[in-house]
Amino acid sequence: MLGQVIVSGLAMGCIYALIALGYAYVWNTMAIVNFAAGEFLTFSAFVFVATFTTSLHLPFWLAAALTAVVMAVLGAVFSRLVFARLQRQKALVAIIATVGFGIFLKEMARIIYGPEPLLYASPFGDGVVAVGGLRVPVQQIVIMAVVVVVMALQYLVLRYTTIGKVMRATALDRETALLMGIPVNRVLAGTFAFSSVLAALAGILLAPLFYVTTEMGTLVGLKGFVAMIIGGFGSVPGAILGGVLLGVAENVGAFTISSTYKDAIAFGLLLVFLLVRPQGLLPERNADRA
């Protein structure tokens, strides 16, 4: 039974890891915290379920791809129209702008799709797979498999492609990158678009597990932020480790204590890390302390 709980925690931890990765990329390149991440997740889930799946009756993979494109464009537009104009302001101004944009996305979802929760049945059915004596739902296996593939691809892109080198150069020193002829504003827009796609993937993978509501992404977005702090503020590998650890810890805690305290366990873990190891598990060398 405990094994089932741990596997379920791993799947949820992968969702947190996706959000935490988005936070880490935006922080490293823009030096701001994108507090609209949870609302990007919410809006993407509505676009995926209500527009592409229910209204247009598109197959799962095509609907998912189009949702990712829509959210990437939305993230890039926000970066170019809002953040690009705030670069010379204090970082707090840009952070407040992300909060405002998140509220805008939540209300747009409410206006366009209505306040009623949407139910989305998993395209992979309710089947389970026996793994080492455990019965793991197919949806959870899909979540973990997709996240592993995404993380492997982003590592290869950042490490071995020109786009990845440009992104890393911009994250390391934005002014020097600009002097070297790198189109910094485009790179920043691309980074924000990529973080939006990560949130979109989280929304798509989460939709079959819960009702799609305008509040579904708020707590997940906060826990993704918690995961980044636990893993190491701004650390990409730390975001992954922090997300998985948080997902497993809150599930095991809810199983052994009570599901009533599931959210309290997650934020209690944050307090423990802030007191004992505020730099996180895998701290970024040049990151500011949370």
Tell me the pLDDT band of 92, cut-offs 50, 70 and 90: confident
Mean pLDDT of the chain: 90
Does pLDDT of 110 surpass 80? yes
Give the range among 35-44, 85-94, 100-109 with minimum mean pLDDT: 85-94
For range 175-203, the mean pLDDT: 91
pLDDT at residue number 289: 41
Structure tokens at 157: 């892109």
Angle, helix 184-206 to helix 60-78, in steps of 10 degrees: 140
For range 120-139, the mean pLDDT: 85
Instruction: Tell me if the pTM is above 0.85.
Output: yes
Q: How far apart are CA 19 and CA 11, in angstroms?
A: 13
Domain ranges of the chain: 2-276
Does pLDDT of 285 surpass 70? no
For range 60-72, the mean pLDDT: 96
pLDDT at residue number 231: 93
2-276: which CATH architecture?
Orthogonal Bundle (1.10)
Q: Which helix (H) or strand (E) holds 134?
A: strand 134-137
Q: How far apart are CA 173 and CA 289, in angstroms?
A: 19
Residue 289 exposed, middle or buried by CB count within 10 Å (0-12, 13-18, 19+): exposed
